[in-house]
Chains A and B, each alone.
Chain A
Amino acid sequence: MTIFNLFIYSRQGNCIYYEEWNRKNVSSNLDEEQKLMYGFLWQIKNFVQKSSPNPELEKTGFHFFRTNSYKLHFFETATNIKFVITSDPDAPDLRDLLKTIYKNTFVEYVIKNPLYTMGEPVRCELFVEKLQLEVRAHTSYKQK
Chain B
Amino acid sequence: MNSHLSVAQSAMKNSGSYSSLEQLAAKASFSEKRPQKPLPILSRPIPKGKSEVSLSAFSFLFSEFIQYSLAKVNNITELEKRLSDCGYNIGVRMLELITYREKNYKRETKLINMLTFISYTVWRILFSKQADLLEKSTDQDDEYMISENQSLPITKFISTPREYSGLNCASFVAGIVEGILDAAEFGARVSAHSMPLEGQKQMKTVILIKFNPDVIARSNLTA
Contact = CB atoms under 8 A, between A and B. Distances in A.
Interface of A: 108-109, 112-116, 123-127, 129
A68 B164 CA distance: 46
A133 B19 CA distance: 64
A115 B158 contact: yes
A43 B161 CA distance: 35
A-B interface, 10 closest residue pairs, ranked by CB to CB distance from nearest = A114-B66, A114-B63, A126-B159, A112-B157, A124-B159, A125-B159, A112-B59, A114-B67, A113-B158, A108-B157
A113 B63 contact: yes
Contacts of B65: 114
Contacts of A125: 159-160
Contacts of A109: 157, 159
A115 B66 contact: yes
Contacts, number: 42
B4 interface: no
Interface string B47-66: 00000000010011011111
Contacts of A123: 161-162
Contacts of A115: 66, 70, 158-161, 164, 167
Contact of A114 (B56, B64, B162, B201): B64
A114 B62 contact: yes
What is the size category of the interface that chain B forms with chain A?
Answer: 20 to 34
Interface of B: 56, 59-60, 62-67, 70, 157-162, 164, 167, 169, 201
13 contacts: A108-B157, A112-B60, A112-B158, A113-B157, A114-B63, A115-B158, A115-B160, A123-B161, A124-B161, A125-B159, A125-B160, A126-B157, A127-B159
Contacts of B63: 112-114
A115 B158 CA distance: 7
Among A114, A116, A123, A124, residue most surrounded by chain B Cβ atoms (within 10 Å)? A114
A125 B157 CA distance: 10
Contacts of B158: 112-115, 126
A31 to B, nearest CB: 21
B193 to A, nearest CB: 17
Nearest to A128: B159
A126 B155 CA distance: 11
A127 B164 CA distance: 17
A114 B169 contact: yes
B19 to A, nearest CB: 46
A113 B65 CA distance: 11
A55 B159 CA distance: 42
A113 B159 contact: yes
A114 B159 contact: no
